[in-house]
Amino acid sequence: MISSNPERGAHVRVPPPLVFLACTLAALAMQFLVAPLRLGGARTLAVLAGITIASAGLGIVASARIVFLRSGQNPAPWTPSPQLIAKGPYRFTRNPMYLGITMLLIGLGLAVNVLWMSMFALVALSIVHHIAVVKEEAYLAMKFGDSYAVYRARVRRYF
């Protein structure tokens, strides 16, 4: 159900960061209580790739948060959006915070050799897509109409 009041914000019930946290905890439970999932050789390359991916993800999240805060908006999806943001990382992806957190977890999983974490990061993004992104997009389309349609046509959802 989507709110018919554009001043209410998207009808997101579960904070997306909690989904990422729950999936990370599930990944750690799988790693340490069920069956470890690790990469074999080439650990140096995996660690470097992991650090690079995690750092890029963290940079995307930080940049998106800064843009949000400078615009005077609250990044929580259930709060109203007074204006459409299309600056910073929002020029390249409509969901930089979710993409960045996913990259952070994938990279961290590679760097510390806990592949469950990398895999569950994608599960978390899939869940967030269904419980938040779809609702956020409907809210933004309702609130900003044609300007959101133009933005949506120009900028990819994730990659």
Predicted local distance difference test score (pLDDT) of residue 1: 39
Find out whether 118 and 96 touch, Cβ atoms under 8 Å: no
Q: Is residue 74 part of a domain?
A: yes
Is the pLDDT at 158 greater than 50, yes or no? Answer: yes
Q: Is residue 69 part of a domain?
A: yes
Q: Is residue 16 part of a domain?
A: no
- Residue for token digits 């930080």? 62
Q: Is residue 118 part of a domain?
A: yes
Would you state the torsion angle of the CA atoms of residues 99, 105, 108, 112, taken in this order, to the nearest 10 degrees?
-150
Q: Model confidence over 45-95: pLDDT tens digits?
A: 999 999 999 999 999 999 999 999 999 998 888 899 999 999 999 999 999
C-alpha triplet 59, 20, 91: angle, nearest 5°? 40
Predicted local distance difference test score (pLDDT) of residue 4: 47
What is the C-alpha to C-alpha distance for residues 94 and 104, in angstroms, rounded to an integer? 17
Q: Is pLDDT larger for residue 143 or for residue 8?
A: 143
Number of domains in the chain: 1
Q: Is residue 125 part of a domain?
A: yes
> Residue type at 158?
Y
Q: Is residue 112 part of a domain?
A: yes
Predicted local distance difference test score (pLDDT) of residue 124: 98
Question: pTM for this structure?
Answer: 0.92
Which range marks the domain in which residue 57 is found? 42-154
Q: Model confidence over 1-56: pLDDT tens digits?
A: 344 455 678 889 999 999 999 999 999 999 999 999 998 888 899 999 999 999 99
Q: Is residue 5 part of a domain?
A: no
Q: Is residue 159 part of a domain?
A: no
Find out whether 144 and 84 touch, Cβ atoms under 8 Å: yes
Q: Model confidence over 103-121: pLDDT tens digits?
A: 999 999 999 999 999 999 9
